[in-house]
Amino acid sequence: TTNTLMTARVAPLGASHILILAEDHTHARRVEEVRRDFVANVSHELKTPVGGIALLAEAVLDARDDPEAVSRFAERIQVESTRLTRLVKEIVDLSRLQTADTLHEPELVEIPQVVAEAVDRLRVAAESRDITLETSVDQRASVFGDAELLATAVGNLVSNAMNYSEPGTRVAVAARRVGDTVEITVSDQGQGIPATEQSRIFERFYRVDAARSRATGGTGLGLAIVKHVCATHGGDVAVWSEEGHGSTFTMRLPAASDRTAADSDRPQVG
Ligand code: ADP
């Protein structure tokens, strides 16, 4: 249930009338609660790697005379700081997205290029994990928006698909135009997501299996970022998944209409 919080201001209006101004603070209060939760979560999530690095640094000092132990601890410091860097970047990305409802200067974005960019960044990781990355894209798919944000969103879905799958499986990325919509789907043959968890995975820092997420370098922010990127583009993201059989995530974005797409290519005259 949502509690409404109303305030009323009363102002005299001549001798026989008064003016009553009623304001609904429910939304403002919810925004404030969400912000406070986010800050609490962020500090909790930052403490883990920072605390880990401090302990490992201490271990390095204690193990000064054992070069093998020193390099083992140093490697773990490296892993933790990479995670920390990613976490900070994702927190910044997400808070920017949360405060901007719309995009500043949307541009015509070719989705085949976005998919190629996102997949190229992950090709080495896919090979090292023996996962086959397949793409199939419709050349007519374009939207108005921010190419970098869209590539980040597609990249998050592809890296999740790989992280929650076993070696020897396939991850397929497809983009196609369906009527006025561009659909980008990322499918895997991985562990899948229990039905009861599917509505929660888009929440910030929510993980089905925290240990597995940590082990793969996850931050718990990937899908929250995807959701916000879709929303700022006027679209949405949905999941279909069956435990033990795999998952398919679908981003749906309003397509750039053929007319507007052609206009924006044409040089301005006069
Ligand atoms: P994380 O950094 O933990 O991967 P995300 O926000 O990207 O955070 O995802 C939230 C959670 O949703 C993950 O921890 C995982 O439990 C689940 N999840 C996301 N994508 C998949 C997938 N393709 N297959 C199975 N589980 C997934």
Q: What is the pLDDT along the chain (270 residues), one digit of tens a residue?
A: 445 666 777 777 777 787 777 777 777 887 788 778 888 888 988 998 899 999 999 999 999 999 999 999 999 999 999 989 999 999 999 988 888 777 888 999 999 999 999 999 999 999 999 999 999 999 889 999 999 999 999 999 999 999 999 999 999 999 999 999 999 999 999 999 999 999 999 999 999 988 888 777 788 999 999 999 999 999 999 999 999 999 999 999 999 976 555 555 544 443
Ligand 1 atom at minimal distance to the Cα of residue 192: 25
Ligand 1 pocket test, candidate residues 83, 152, 185, 193, most atoms within 8 A of CB: 193
CA-based nearest residue to 169, from 85, 244, 106: 244
**Pair 83, 49: CB distance under 8 Å:** yes
Question: How far apart are the CA of 56 and the centre of ligand 1, in A?
Answer: 28
> In degrees rounded to 5, what are phi and psi of residue 180?
-90, 15
Question: How far apart are the CA of 17 and the centre of ligand 1, in A?
Answer: 59
ipTM more than 0.95? yes
Question: How far apart are the CA of 133 and the centre of ligand 1, in A?
Answer: 18
Question: How far apart are the CA of 87 and the centre of ligand 1, in A?
Answer: 15
- Number of neighbouring beta carbons within 10 Å of residue 2: 8
The two structure tokens encoding residue 153: 């969103």
Ligand 1 atom at minimal distance to the Cα of residue 165: 24
Cβ of 49 closer than 6 Å to ligand 1, yes or no, is: no
Question: How far apart are the CA of 114 and the centre of ligand 1, in A?
Answer: 21
Cβ of 185 closer than 6 Å to ligand 1, yes or no, is: no
**Pair 186, 239: CB distance under 8 Å:** no
Ligand 1 atom at minimal distance to the Cα of residue 207: 14
The two structure tokens encoding residue 189: 């043959």
CA 233 to chain centre: 13
pLDDT at 1: 45
50 Cβ contact list (under 8 Å, min separation 6): 84
CA-based nearest residue to 96, from 152, 57, 155: 152
pLDDT at 38: 84
The amino acid at 179: G
Cβ of 164 closer than 6 Å to ligand 1, yes or no, is: yes
The two structure tokens encoding residue 249: 């995530």
Question: How far apart are the CA of 79 and the centre of ligand 1, in A?
Answer: 20
- Number of neighbouring beta carbons within 10 Å of residue 71: 12
In angstroms, the CA 20 to CA 14 distance is: 13
Ligand 1 pocket test, candidate residues 97, 199, 213, 229, most atoms within 8 A of CB: 213
Measured between alpha carbons, how far apart are the two ends of the chain, in Å? 57
